[in-house]
Chain A
């Protein structure tokens, strides 16, 4: 008998729809790391990321009977993750009267034992506006291409592309001097 881990997503989804627990577990094992990685970088705190990732999977398995396979399972579940994360982030913001603490010191991002650059990157990511962070995490951190991101977010690829460039520019602004290349001398811009 073939182990569920060796089946492709289409076969696993079909089995999972029939209530096969092993197939559900195999889908989870295959996609949970990427889902968690994206959610983690959209959540202000690690404990919230755990909750949001859990919520994503519960929603996904609840909704599995309605999944028709228009997109890949991984794309579909990531869309649920991002929408869940955005929904929860807005709820928290409302609850905190418009103030979301994205201070890495309180968000548990900064740890003395981690390299400085990583801490700075995480801090800057956390300070990015929600939409920019979403795009930058998907493209530059997780390596999805514009077409995949467009499918995940339900946008046009051209929109995602333009948002990415804005997000990169904002990230550079937030990082400030930390990635600055040493300049030997100021050179005037050509006119």
Chain B
């Protein structure tokens, strides 16, 4: 008869022995001492002093959340990203309104881009004929940037065998697009381009939220 296995000894730290194990322990001091050592180890581990987070940890977390626009954690301060988004939306709205004015002056109406194209991450901002102001160019750049980010996330999801790990980042991007296009629509409610982007972003966001809701929490990316 051999000694109890290391796993059995470890189990007996806090569980009762089987009759066979009990009989062995009654006769084998080495195994009894092994259990005593394992108990001492467990007690010592439980007595390790708690590790405290650094004092400035919360400040660092709120700084990152502020940047992500998760919540206005510092009262009385509008977050940087929110400011940028609002500015971009206003510029976008002004640019769209002037574009619409150009169209009304005689250009043929442009067909709205397909929402499928946008949601697949391959959308692009339609070229503008005539002079482009720096503000309008900046707005178009921001929208293209958002579409590019969205497309990158699509690519990562499509090429990864794992569930999309960046679903929340993707959701945040979609939220930014929705916010921007919604604000723009308040200024130019009939603009077909903005409407198509807005609807595509809403549909994509809805789909993603549905996927997240139906993914068990134990299986989610985090």
Contacts and interface: CB of A to CB of B under 8 A. Distances in A.
Contacts of A60: 222
Contacts of B218: 70-71, 79, 151, 154
A32 B45 contact: no
A13 interface: no
B130 interface: no
A57 B11 CA distance: 34
24 contacts: A21-B62, A21-B73, A21-B75, A32-B57, A41-B51, A49-B51, A50-B54, A61-B70, A62-B68, A62-B70, A63-B222, A66-B213, A140-B41, A140-B42, A143-B46, A162-B7, A169-B38, A181-B37, A181-B40, A183-B30, A189-B1, A189-B31, A190-B24, A191-B1
Interface string B200-222: 00000000000011001111101
Interface of A: 19-21, 24-25, 28, 32-33, 35-37, 40-41, 49-50, 53-54, 57-63, 66-68, 70-71, 76, 79-80, 83-84, 117-118, 121-122, 125, 136, 140-141, 143, 151, 154, 161-162, 164-169, 171-173, 175, 179-181, 183, 187, 189-191
B84 interface: no
Contact of B29 (A28, A165, A187): A187
A171 B10 CA distance: 10
A118 B57 CA distance: 25
| The 6 nearest A-B residue pairs measured at CB | A169-B6, A168-B10, A40-B51, A36-B53, A165-B10, A190-B27
A41 B54 CA distance: 15
A176 B145 CA distance: 57
A140 B46 contact: yes
A141 B43 CA distance: 9
Nearest to B36: A181
A63 B220 contact: yes
Contact of B2 (A33, A66, A167, A189): A189
B45 A140 contact: yes
Interface of B (DSSP majority class):
helix
A28 B40 contact: no
Nearest to A137: B45
Contacts of A68: 213, 217
Given A68-B217, A179-B44, A25 B58 contact: yes
A34 to B, nearest CB: 8
B60 interface: yes
Contact of B45 (A19, A136, A162): A136
A141 B28 CA distance: 29
Contact of A59 (B38, B168, B216): B168
A8 to B, nearest CB: 19
A47 to B, nearest CB: 10
Nearest to A43: B51
A172 to B, nearest CB: 6
A50 B3 CA distance: 43
A179 B217 contact: no
